Every structure is written in structure tokens, then in C-alpha cells.
Amino acid sequence: MPVLPIDTRRYGTNEMLEIFEEENRLQRMLDVEAALAWAHGEVGNILRKDAQKIVKIASIKYVKLGRVKEIERDIKHDVTSLVRALAEACGSSGAYVHLGATSSDILDTATALQLKDALFLIENRLDKLESALMVKAERFDRTIMAGRTHGQHALPTTLGFKFAVWTREIARHIRRLQECKIRILVGKMSGAVGTQAGFGPEALKIQELVMKKLDIEPVEISTQIVQRDRHAELICLLAMISSTLDKIATEIRQLQRTEIGELAEPFERAKQVGSSTMPHKRNPELCERICGLAKVIRSLVIPALENFTTWHERDLTQSSAERFIIPEACILTDYILNLMTTIIENLEVYERKMQLNIKLTQGRIMSESVMTALTHKGMNRQEAHEHLRRLAVRSEMERKPFKTVLTEDKIVRRMLSEKEISRALNPRNYLGTAIKQVKLVIRKTRRERKSRGLDK
């Protein structure tokens, strides 16, 4: 009976869920056993006909999950249950199944095979999100909006600039994932304590052949298990990716607030329900879902880091934790990446509201621009700051447009003409290099994508 939301498929894409389904896990373990038998045949440890028989039978077509579980209920050991089920299906050739190996040789290498598929999906999701963000950055590079610090209006910025910042953050995650794959996609055939004693004189060759057959790299050295710094690095990276998505989703949620109303996640107006009691509600539930699941992904970092520690060459403290954290981290990260891409691609942008909001301070958002103009005319910067601070307070208290207060002030008028004041108060004139930076980001991102074999 399904219990968790992942089990009920409330969260998770079909592609990623399939990678971590029980039968697929079983098949990956069988793939490792098949590669091991083939390698033994190649170095002459067993007859090729026996190796070929094991390779042929090492499939869920012949080794049924139900049979493996039936054996496990009796002997209470998952890998030995698989070994016995495979051996009995292979007939006399079954005598050579699992030759020289320990459970972790199969488990850890099978995990690497699953992660290879999972990271391929996650990297594709990152590529698509990066592309979606880049498109928005280019489209809205000149769309002016209020930049906010501490939740308050600060200076003008552009919506495209915001998207460009997110684009580069995703680009860095892509680079981190590419580097991480080198360390995480590894397998081992090293036996009970890592010495490979059970594989005989051709042990290193066997490990090399197995990993070549499975298209992953062999570890340089290991104990009974692949060292968990590798897995912890991946979980930490997935937590970082989820935190970026959390940040983007939080920004969209904030800008969708009724009082702000500058952005909104997609909403199916024809039939979508926002509230069970308030018909008018349009909640940013997709972004809220991302923020909520990001918390779960980040929580997986602690057990991943604690998995570093083991008693001597191996204990089982990692195993039980990893049955949760590896599938959960991959499934949920993939899911919220896919969700965020959908949100960005279909994001609703209200430029008119941005124009109205930037006027809420009656021009005071441009105080730094006026201060800079005064400084260029020879006024001491600190004196200009203090003078404009007082004028901004007056504008707010008296509810007067900042321009009116400025033009009424003798000190300001002595140094700036009305035309210069108007120019300083125009947000479009105080964007600095924002538009240029967006263009540079787009150019750099396109170069990187081309180097990764992506068209655009």
C-alpha cells in the first residue's frame, strides 16, 4: 500500500520514479552480477559458457522480484537472496554467481548505475531551466522595476537583470554537477575489506573490466564500501540546487502578493481552484510547493554527512539511511526543477504594475541618483547624502512628490536645474550597466551551452 507522496506519485516525474522503482533496482544489481561473471570469463576464472549463461539470465525476465523477496523473508539478507534467485535460475552455471564479491560490490555499483541515469535527467532539467531563464532575461532586459533590499524600495533595476542573476546561478550548478559526476559515478569490485583477495591474481583486471562493461569508473581504492564523501557531495549539491529554486520561488511568491502584483505563477483560469472557501483566491501554490520540498531536500544533508562515519571497514549505518536519502534527493530535486521550468516558461508579468509600484515613493527611490548628480556638481558626498536624507523625510512626512521638495530647496536649485532634476529622477537614466550585464550573461551562457553540445 502506498504511504508517502512519492509512492502515490503526487511528487516525482515518471522518468525519475522509474529509475528508483524496486524492479529497476533489482535489474541494476543483476547488471552488476552479469558484468562480474563476464569479467571472470574474460580472465579465465570461469568457463565462457557459464559466464554467458549468467549474463543471459541476469534479468528480471528470469529473476523475479517476488522470488527474491520470498528468499529474503527466510534468510533475512537482501543481496544473498538475489544471488540465490539468480543462481537457481542459471542451473549449473549458478555455481559461479557472485564469485569473489561481497554485498557492497553489488549494492554500491548498482547505486552508481542508478545515479548515472538520475543525474542525466537532472542535468537535462538544469539545461532546460537555464534556457528558460536566459530567454526571460533577454526578453525583459529593459523592463524597469523597483529593486528591493530589506523588503523596501532601493533603486531601479530590470526584471531581465533578476533573471540573468538566476541564470548564472543555475549555470554554476551545472558546472558543479559535471564535476561531481566524476567522483560519484564509480563502482567497485574489492571484496569484504577492500583487498580483493577473493578475486585472485586478476582482481584489478576484473574490477577494470566490470566497470568498463557498465560504463562507469572504478574507485581508486575502497574498503568494503565506496567511501561516502562521494555521496554526501552529491546530496549537498542537490540541496544547493533546491535552495536556488527555493530562492527563485520565494521571489515570485513575494512579487505575486496582492499589494505588489508584479509577477504571478501560471494559473488555469478556466478551472483551477485557489481556495476551498474563498472563490477569488489565486495562491502561488506551485512556488510554495517548491519551497516546501526544498526543506525536505536540505534535511537530507545531515544523514548524508553522518554517513561518512563507519566502524572500521564497514557497518550498516549508511545502508538504511541511503535507502531514503538517495532516492528522495534525486526524485524531489528532479521534480522541483521540472516544476520551476514550467513556472518560468509560463510566468505572468505585469509591467504596468511595476511602473505604478516604482512611483509609490513619489520619486524618493531616485535619491541616490540625485545625490550623485549633486556630487558631480562639486557638493561633498557626505553632505549631499545628509541633505537628501532630510529632504526625503520631508517628502514622506508631508506626502509631497520628491521632485517638488527638491525644486523648492535652495541648495539643490543652486546646483541643479529643473531639467537636471527631472533627468536624475528618471529611473531609466539610473540603470547603470544593468542592460549590458544581462547581454554579457546571455553571451557567456550561450557559449557554455554550445560547449556542452546544446544548440541554444
Residue 2 Ramachandran class (φ > 0 left, ψ -120 to 50 alpha, else beta): beta
pLDDT at 228: 97
Q: Alpha-carbon distance 384 to 388, whole Å?
A: 6
Q: How many C-beta neighbours within 10 Å does residue 178 have?
A: 12
* Contact predicate 12/335, CB 8 Å: yes
* Contact predicate 336/296, CB 8 Å: no
Query: Cα–chain-centroid distance for residue 34?
Result: 33
Instruction: Domain ranges for the chain, please list them.
Output: 364-424
* Contact predicate 111/325, CB 8 Å: no
Identify the residue whose cell numbers are 535489474.
27
Identify the residue whose cell numbers are 552480477.
33
Q: In this structure, what C-alpha cell is assigned to residue 294?
A: 526544498
Looking at residue 140, the DSSP 8-state letter turns out to be T
Among 311, 355, 305, residue whose Cα is nearest residue 159: 355
Q: How far is CA 347 from CA 173, 344, 350, in A?
A: 22, 5, 10
> Is beta strand 263-264 parallel, antiparallel or unpaired with respect to 152-158?
unpaired
Q: In this structure, what C-alpha cell is assigned to residue 41?
A: 570469463
Beta bridge partner(s), residue 158: 144
The pTM assigned to this predicted structure is 0.95
- Positions in the chain whose pLDDT score sits under 50: none
Looking at residue 93, the DSSP 8-state letter turns out to be G
Helix (H), strand (E) at residue 157: strand 152-158
Q: 379-392 b/e with 16+ CB inside 10 Å = b?
A: beeeebeebbeebb
Largest CA distance in the chain: 103
Those residues with Cβ within 8 angstroms of residue 308's Cβ, 6 or more apart along the chain or in another chain: 227, 228, 229, 232
Task: Say which CATH topology domain 364-424 has.
Answer: Ribonucleotide Reductase Protein R1; domain 1 (1.10.40)
HSE-CB at 291 with a 13 A cutoff on CA atoms is: 13
Q: Which residues are catalytic?
A: 150, 275
